[in-house]
Structure 1
Amino acid sequence: MRETCVQVNSLVKRYGEFVAVDHFSLNVGKGEILGLLGPNGSGKTTTINCILALLSYDRGSITIFGENMTPERYDIKRRIGVVPQNVAVMDSLTVEENIDFFCGLYVKNRSSRRACVRDALAFTGLTDYRKQKPKKLSGGLLRRLNIACGIAHKPELIFFDEPTVAVDPQSRNAILEGIRKMNQNGSTIVYTSHYMEEVEELCTRIVIMDHGKGVAEGTAASLKAGLRNRETIRIHMPVRQEEVLRAIREVNHVYHVQAEDEDIVIRCDGGEHNLVHILNVLEEKKAVFGRVTTELPTLNDVFLEITGKELRE
């Protein structure tokens, strides 16, 4: 069993009558990449801000490294890195000066700090841009600078809040690869996002939030293994015949057939060669159809089955 790095018990955070976090509990094991997945407004960022003692809360308890977390626990904060959703750097400073400034909040020795800044520049691929001002950087490079400022002091625990929002694919891949390397180097990662593909690709364990509550927890594989839906087949069929739909519904392992615009969406609860069986029905009925796609279950399907709505909504 992993040593616990972060423990949150029955956290409640209210804004007047609105309950932003509703008796939420969380354990983060040392050395893991924990994904906190949920739609915008699900309580992810509020939870992180409570963990970091940036927000007060109404009920519950929070410990980090086995110690109670409070706003005055600077000894704990020195061991934590934060990469916020909104880029937080100073336009008047160069890339190198920004990293040095934020690193200086934790590392007072100048020689040690210079080494940390140099490592952060190299790690994020910003060495060639070190003399530039943030306004000269592309969106992806600006996100990398945001990360460099948050991790230069080599923290043991790092919180990433939507670090790939509005970045190009190349920068996104560089950011995700950088996070993997930090974890391989010993950092514990808490990664919040509403991009389910990133969470599934990156995280060793996932907690799904909705309306301030934890609604599911496990690995991506274990979460999907509990689904009834094991395969989704989509067929473009502008002209539909009820006889064809009835025949599809009778195929073994088909449990749901739904018309969406000009497509037919078919959900299967198991079995093999489902697409072959359905195509045989279409051929037998001489149905006219176009594009056919098949999809294995995703974390969005997990969220849909639990809450009745799309994670992307």
Structure 2
Amino acid sequence: MSENMPRHAVVRTDAGGAFPPSGRGVRGGLSGRVHVSLMRSVRGEMRKLLSLRSTWIMLLLDFLALPAGGLILAFMMKLTNGTDMPAGQAPGLSASAYWSAIGSLYQVSAIIVAILGVMSVTADYTSSSIDSTLTANPHRGMVLAGKGVCVALVTWVASQLSVLVSWACVQAVLSSEQNGPLEASMSRLPWVIILGTPAMLTLFAVMAVGIGALCRSTLGGVLVVFAVVMFIPTFLDIISGFQRYFSWVAPLSRVFPMSLIASFLDANPPLPEQDMAFDPQWWQCGLLMVAWTAAFYIIGHIVMKVTDIK
């Protein structure tokens, strides 16, 4: 490095950080000022994310899941159409069933993007590249935000394309079938399926980014995802069967992420209250999913900032 270089000159890095040159007046060869920005962090994290083979495998599986489920369900609907109809009544498909078939494998897609979200954080820790990442950008909150933005972008793109391809597949299979009219109370269902499915999967992936920052282990993060998605809700459903003692537990299983996504994508209209149990409507389920995502992301952000990188 030339001695004529200005004292406050910096050398930019690809990862969004900046290294000051060694020279006079700088102790240890590094100054205390590192010039970084969120956009540079996002560009660096996106380059890193897309360089991983596992990222492309997860995105490919996410892209294929919904069309595969849509095709299977569409063929089943085509084969069984009219078999249970009363004599003299013309066969026809339910419009709500048609739209629901498009996003029928959202559970599989949610698990796939959750693993992607966890690995986007834990890959740095398992490969020890977190040292160089935080050297280039010592702002841990900005690093996590960059990862979250990148995971959200790639998940939304892959999921949105998957929904559109699934729609085309279902339409191709059922184009010769007669569809019934969509009920007025369900008029929002097409928009919820086409736009809401990628949105819910994106929230799920960002929630997994927070889980990855919380655990910093791929195995631990994946286990937490399965606990939140499957183990805990199943346990609550089992013990709620003991009505005498644990009937109050039943509403809790309705506010876990997978149940919230299912209720959101059903887009059911408000129904009269049958009991005092909490049964959120579809738009409330969307807000609760946002709350889950924010909670895990904030917890992961705090843990990442206060704990040692080792």
Q: What interval of TM-score do these two structures reach, taking the shorter chain for normalisation?
A: under 0.3
In the superposition, the TM-score normalised over structure 1's length comes to 0.25
TM-score, normalising length: structure 2: 0.25
Instruction: Judging by fraction of residues, say which structure has more helix.
Output: 2
The structure that is strand-richer by fraction is 1
